[in-house]
Amino acid sequence: MSGNSGFPLFLLTMQKILFVCLGNICRSPMAHGVFRDIACTQKLNVEIDSAGTSDHHTGEAPDSRAVSTMANKNIDITDLRARQFTREDFDRFDFIYVMDDSNYKNVIALASNQSHRNKVTLFLNEAFPGKNQNVPDPYFGGDEGFEHVYELITAASLSLAEKLK
Ligand code: 4NP
- The pLDDT tens digits for 68-114 are 999 999 999 999 999 999 999 999 999 999 999 999 999 999 999 99
Rounded Cα–Cα distance for residues 90 and 76 (Å): 27
Residue 83 lies in a domain: yes
CA 63 centroid distance within chain: 16
| Annotated active-site residue in 21, 37, 89, 100 | 21
* pTM of the predicted model as reported, rounded to 2 decimal places: 0.94
Concatenated DSSP letters of 4-48: TTS-BGGGT--EEEEEEESSSSSHHHHHHHHHHHHHHHTT--EEE
59 CA to centre of ligand 1 in angstroms: 14
53 CA to centre of ligand 1 in angstroms: 10
Residues of the chain with pLDDT under 50: 1-3
Contact residues of ligand 1, CB 6 A cut-off: 21-27, 52, 56, 137, 139
**How does DSSP classify residue 84?**
B
Q: Is the CB of residue 94 less than 8 Å from the CB of residue 15?
A: yes
Residue 130 lies in a domain: yes
What CATH number corresponds to the domain at position 95? 3.40.50.2300
The answer to whether 137 is a known catalytic residue is: yes
Residue 4 lies in a domain: no
The predicted structure's pLDDT at residue 13: 84
110 CA to centre of ligand 1 in angstroms: 20
Residue 9 lies in a domain: no
The predicted structure's pLDDT at residue 104: 98
The answer to whether 21 is a known catalytic residue is: yes
**Which residue range is the domain that position 62 belongs to?**
14-164
The number of folded domains in the chain is: 1
